[in-house]
Amino acid sequence: MGGGLSRHGLAAAVSEAGGLGTIAVGGAEAIRRELAAARDLTGRPLAVNLLLPFARRGWFEAAGEADVVVTFWGRPRRRTPGVWLHQCGSVAEAREAQSAGADGVIVQGVEAGGHVRGTVPALELLERARAALPADYPLLLAGGIAEAGDVRAALEAGATAAVAGTRFLLAEESRAHPAYRERLVAAGETILTDLFGAAWPAPHRVVPNAATERWLGGVRPFRGISPGKDERRLVRAPGANRALNHLLAPGARYTPPSLQLGMMRRQRPGSRLLTPAGPTDDGPATLVDACALYAGETVARIGDVRPAAAIVRDLSG
């Protein structure tokens, strides 16, 4: 979980408990620092996640020191010599990653939290990808994993492993702001939107807050007659917001992190430019109404914050 939501504490706790913890921070120096801090806490394998639209050469070198590198969003290409997984939203993308030499792919369903590449439910994409790729090719499933039964269903459907984000956002070790976690624990619905698209105009799943209320007119897509179906419809930001996001996107990659951070801290629910950064515990609580409160559909089934080790134990059934 990017933007520093998943750092060494969470990753190490997940790995130590028998999962594969993933660090997601920007910049070569931060990746090295977080990986070293996680290595101090666990001797077990660790992963580093890189978002391809933003990652630069030095980031790949630093990430290559992890046991697994996971990439997302962009043309899959082997950039590190070790174990490499690419998260995909379609069969075509999974095939492309396999051809590019990925050691496995994560198939992401539309129900997932954070940025959403998938357009169909995870189990459906898994079935299609299984049919299209060699029988022994590792396929991991992301989206809809919050309880042991979800993991079992994924494995029974042919997944090599299950990937969970939202459930670990609500782990004690995650760096989500406490006020963000409170909103998530209370949430029962999510919106798939492109609202928080400054620098990265890509669909993402969030829980409603003042910013979504202001710009999306308080849509309540989930509390309808057909929950799943409505919740999977992309609710677009107003045209002017989208135009601005697209205009600024090409330069965003080269915006210094300090400037991005300044922009994020100044943003208000009424700002037309809303950055993709999520509220972390080292920022002000007011950001919970101005930033993206990323969460997957499973948020409706999660009602507590627990230690990561307990979550791994529960998911393992």
CA distance 110 to 117: 7
**DSSP class of residue 8?**
H
Q: In this structure, which amino acid lies at residue 212?
A: T
Dig out the tokens for 35 from the structure: 């990986």
| Ranges within 131-160 binding ligand FMN (CB under 6 A) | 142-145
By CB under 6 A, residue 113 contacts ligand FMN? yes
By CB under 6 A, residue 76 contacts ligand FMN? no
3-class SS at 154?
Answer: helix
* Burial class (CB within 10 angstroms; exposed 0-12, middle 13-18, buried 19+) of 59: buried
Minimal distance, residue 117 CB to ligand FMN, in Å: 8
Dig out the tokens for 5 from the structure: 């939501």
Q: Closer CB to ligand FMN, residue 240 or residue 299?
A: 299
By CB under 6 A, residue 162 contacts ligand FMN? no
Minimal distance, residue 73 CB to ligand FMN, in Å: 7
Q: Which residue has the tokens 């309540």?
A: 220
By CB under 6 A, residue 294 contacts ligand FMN? yes
Cβ–Cβ < 8 Å for 173, 309: no
Minimal distance, residue 166 CB to ligand FMN, in Å: 3
By CB under 6 A, residue 165 contacts ligand FMN? yes
Cβ–Cβ < 8 Å for 118, 99: no
Got the DSSP string for 11-54? HHHHHHTTS-EEE--SSHHHHHHHHHHHHHH-SS-EEEEEETTT
Taking the CA atoms of the chain, what radius of gyration do you get in angstroms?
A: 18
CA distance 294 to 146: 15
Q: Closer CB to ligand FMN, residue 60 or residue 72?
A: 72
Stretch 30-69: interaction string toward ligand FMN, x if CB under 6 A = -------------------x-x------------------
Q: Which residue has the tokens 């809809």?
A: 144
By CB under 6 A, residue 10 contacts ligand FMN? no
**Part of the chain binding ligand FMN (CB under 6 A), chosen from 10-18, 74-82, 161-169, 309-317:** 161-169
By CB under 6 A, residue 279 contacts ligand FMN? no
By CB under 6 A, residue 200 contacts ligand FMN? no
Total residues at interface with ligand FMN (CB under 6 A): 27
By CB under 6 A, residue 80 contacts ligand FMN? no
Number of CB atoms found within 10 A of residue 77's CB: 14
Dig out the tokens for 125 from the structure: 């994409």
- Candidates 278, 280, 308, 311; binder of ligand FMN (CB under 6 A) is 278
- Candidates 4, 9, 76, 296; binder of ligand FMN (CB under 6 A) is 296
**Part of the chain binding ligand FMN (CB under 6 A), chosen from 7-15, 232-240, 291-299, 308-316:** 291-299
CA distance 299 to 187: 7
Task: List contacts with ligand FMN (CB under 6 A).
Answer: 1-2, 5, 24, 49, 51, 72, 87, 108, 112-115, 142-145, 163-166, 169, 278, 294-296, 298
